[in-house]
Amino acid sequence: MASMQWEFWVLGGLALGAGLVFVVAWRRRSGAAAPGFDAETGPAPLRAGNWGRPVVSGQPPAVRPGEAEALLERLGAGLARLYDDPVTVAGQECHLFAPRGRTLPPPVAAAVRQVSGDATSGSLLTRLSSPHTILAAVADLVAANPVLAGNVLKIANSPLYGLRAGIATVEQALAVVGLGNVRALVFAELLDRAEVPGGPTRPARGAMWVHMAKTAVLARRIAPAFPGLDAGVAYTAGLLHDVGKLTLPAGRIAATPWHPPAENAAYGVHHGLAGFAVCGGFDLPGILSQAVRLHHAPSWVEMEDLEAGMADIRLAVAVGMADALALSLDGCDPGCLLPLHHSYRFLVNEPTLAEVLADPALVGELSRATALVTVSRS
C-alpha cells in the first residue's frame, strides 16, 4: 500500500505540473475552433454508432455577442479551480462512498422505490444505454408512451431543427432528434413525473434538468480526454448524475449540492448513494450506477481507497468534472468548487481537455441543450 501511495503521489505531482501547462494552453486557444468542427452547426448528424451526438439541422440558437467568450471564460475558471491544491483531507470520508453496509433512511428508501418504479422510463433508459439497441426497437418503446411520443414529434418539428417537411412518425422523429437527445427527453419526463412527497418541487426539478443537460453535454465533450471512455456512456451518466436528489427532502439541497458530508448529516445519505439505489431499481448497467455513486468522490477520497474498478473511476471523474464545470456555467463561484485529489489527475489527457473546453462550438452545443429543455417543457 505504501508503494502504491508513493506511485499515486508521483503521478499526481506530474499531473499538477501538466495541469498548469494546459490551463495556460486553454488561455491561448480560447479563440480558436477545434479542427473538423463547424462552429455554426455544431456536431455532425447522428450516424450508425454515433450514439453520443445530437442531430443538428438548421441553425443553432442565437448566442448574444460576447456570450460565447464569457461562457468559455467561466469554463476556464472552473477548470483552473479543479486543478488547485485539494482543500479536503482525503481518507476521512471513505465510508460515505462505500456501497456496502449502508441502509437508506426509510423516507429516502420509499422515495427511491417511487422514482425507480417508473417502469417505462426505466426500460427506455436501460435500452438506450445499450449500443446494440436498434432504432426500430426504441421507436416501439417511445410510441407506447403517448406523452413521450408527442414530445419527440413536437421537438422534431420545432424550429430547433429547421426542417421544411413535417415529421409524422415516431421513427422519423427519432432519426431527426437523435438517440442521444431521446435519452435526455426520457430523463426529462422522469423528472417531470417524479413528485416525491416532501421532495423537490416541479420548478426545482426543472432547474435540476437544465443543470444535468449541461453536465451531459460537457461529459460527452470531455470524454476524449479520458482514454478508453465512451462518449455516449459519459453523456448518459451526466444526465443521471444527480438523480438521487429527487429522493431527498426539499429545502437545504441547493445549499450544499456538492458536499456529501453535509447531505449525509442532514438526510442520513448523500445524493450519490441515493442515486446509486435509483439506478439499481432501473436495472441500469453497473458502470452508470457507479458513476452516479462516485461522481463527487475524487474531491474527497484518494483513488486507492475507493471500492471501484478503473473503468468506473474514470467515468466518475469525467462526470464529476463535467458537473463542476456546469456549475461554473450556472454562475457558481469557482472558489466553491472542490479540486480533484492528485491521485486521479493522471487519468486525464490535459491538452485534449484544454482543446475541447476552448472550442467555441461547445457554446452552441450547450445552447442547443438548453433550447431542447425549453421546447420539451413548452
Q: How confident is the model at residue 352 (pLDDT cuts 50, 70, 90)?
A: very high
Q: Please state, as a whole number, how many other Cβ atoms lie within 10 Å of the Cβ of residue 372.
A: 22
Q: Is 126 exposed, middle or buried (0-12, 13-18, 19+ CB in 10 A)?
A: middle
C-alpha cell at 272: 450519490
**Rounded (10°) angle between helices 135-143 and 119-128:** 170
Distance in angstroms (rounded) separating the CA atoms of residues 195 and 251: 15
Q: Minimal CA–CA distance to 332: which of 18, 81, 110?
A: 81
The superfamily in CATH containing domain 2-376 is Hypothetical protein af1432 (1.10.3210.10)
* Averaged pLDDT for residues 119-132: 70
Look at residue 47 in the predicted model and tell me its pLDDT: 31
Flag whether pLDDT at 197 surpasses 90. Answer: no
Q: Minimal CA–CA distance to 188: which of 260, 118, 276?
A: 118
Flag whether pLDDT at 331 surpasses 90. Answer: no
C-alpha cell at 205: 426539478
Look at residue 258 in the predicted model and tell me its pLDDT: 61
C-beta of residue 281 within 8 angstroms of C-beta of residue 112: yes
Buried b (16+ CB within 10 A) or exposed e, 177-189: bbbbbbbbbbbbb
Flag whether pLDDT at 18 surpasses 70. Answer: no
Q: How confident is the model at residue 15 (pLDDT cuts 50, 70, 90)?
A: very low
The lowest-confidence range among 3-7, 89-93, 359-363 is: 3-7
Q: Helix, strand or coil for residue 162?
A: coil
